[in-house]
Amino acid sequence: MSNKVKPLIAGNWKMNGLRADLRQIEALVRGLKERRSLACDVLICPPATLLAALGAACAQSVVMSGGQNCHVRQKGAHTGDISALMLADAGAKYVIVGHSERRAGHSETDGLVRAKAQSALGAGLIPIICVGETQAERLAALAVTVVEHQLDGSVPDLAPGQQIVIAYEPVWAIGSGQTPASEDILLIHSFIREWLEARFAGRGSAINILYGGSMNPANAGEILALNNVNGGLVGGASLNAKDFLAIIDAA
Ligand code: PGA
């Protein structure tokens, strides 16, 4: 892990979680209180329906909350959408944008992801901008090219004080139980770091680059120890407090 950056362990609950599942959050909060000092920041991105209740459950703890998506506009006639401003108003500090499930399932383009990231910044949120290649692209040795293209198109300019997070999530590793070899994660994360430093100079060295895709208690230690891996974006294993705590301990 790059020494300069405090790791962020972020849980992405996706379309999972009813009020009864806040028990897992209560267990997470209890578990974190038992740990004297934490080497990482902790974030949960629940479905929007649980943001307020999760915020209340985490009020006395270090656990932060985030959204999973936002609209490019802050308000207006957009039935069914949620704005970054609304997420911030509900207590969110971060919002995931450009997750591959949104890129694939909702035809989100790099340009749209960039606009969403800008909207998030405008609302005072930190966007977690996701990039990553498909299996076919990896097999065609296009992983770096694809990630570079997504970064070029999805990452907005930053005003002073504004912050972003990048999440490298190979599409084929998400929910599959498969992860890239450590050398492959290292290679892409180093590439992303160079890209960020070329784009943002010194500020690029301080941006968290998360790995996401089938991170679990068994593989988190090895992945999080890699240079330029500054945390994880955790799906399935974030739904269970015990597993998520084990990943936090690995950081
Ligand atoms: P996973 O999901 O940990 O279940 O693979 C990660 C993600 O999609 O953010």
Give the tens place of pLDDT for each residue, 37-51.
Answer: 899 999 999 999 999
Average pLDDT, stretch 47-68? Answer: 97
Which ligand 1 atom is at minimum distance from the Cα of 100?
Answer: 8
Residue nearest to atom 7 of ligand 1 (CA): 235
Residues with CB under 6 A from ligand 1: 12, 169, 174-175, 212-215, 233-237
- For the chain, percent of residues with pLDDT exceeding 90: 98
Closest CA to 238 of 68, 83, 107: 68
**Does the structure show a pLDDT above 70 at 2?**
no
- Give the pLDDT of residue 209: 98
Please tell me the distance from the alpha carbon of residue 58 to that of residue 29, in angstroms, as a whole number: 7
- Give the pLDDT of residue 36: 81
Average pLDDT, stretch 23-34? Answer: 97
Average pLDDT, stretch 191-218? Answer: 97
- Give the pLDDT of residue 37: 87
**Strand intervals (E) in 47-177:** 64-67, 94-97, 126-131, 165-168
Kindly report the CA angle at 241 between 236 and 246, in degrees rounded to 5?
Answer: 85
Average pLDDT, stretch 240-245? Answer: 98
Q: How far is the CA of 175 from the centre of ligand 1 (A)?
A: 5
**Does the structure show a pLDDT above 90 at 184?**
yes
Please tell me the distance from the alpha carbon of residue 104 to that of residue 30, in angstroms, as a whole number: 37
Residue nearest to atom 1 of ligand 1 (CA): 235
Residue nearest to atom 6 of ligand 1 (CA): 235
Average pLDDT, stretch 57-81? Answer: 97
Average pLDDT, stretch 227-249? Answer: 98
Average pLDDT, stretch 124-149? Answer: 98
pLDDT band at 3; cut points 50, 70, 90: low
Which ligand 1 atom is at minimum distance from the Cα of 212?
Answer: 6
For the question of residue 197 being annotated catalytic, the response is no
Give the tens place of pLDDT for each residue, 168-177.
Answer: 999 999 999 9
For the question of residue 133 being annotated catalytic, the response is no
**Does the structure show a pLDDT above 60 at 220?**
yes
Average pLDDT for the chain: 97
- Pair 113, 103: CB distance under 8 Å: yes
**Does the structure show a pLDDT above 70 at 1?**
no
Q: How far is the CA of 232 from the centre of ligand 1 (A)?
A: 9
pLDDT band at 120; cut points 50, 70, 90: very high
**Does the structure show a pLDDT above 90 at 187?**
yes
Which ligand 1 atom is at minimum distance from the Cα of 173?
Answer: 5
Closest CA to 98 of 121, 73, 130, 72: 130
Q: How far is the CA of 236 from the centre of ligand 1 (A)?
A: 6
Which ligand 1 atom is at minimum distance from the Cα of 167?
Answer: 9
**Does the structure show a pLDDT above 80 at 152?**
yes
The single residue of 101, 108, 133, 169 carrying the catalytic annotation is 169
- Give the pLDDT of residue 137: 98
Pocket test for ligand 1, best of 95, 134, 169, 211 (most atoms within 8 A of CB): 169
Average pLDDT, stretch 60-65? Answer: 96
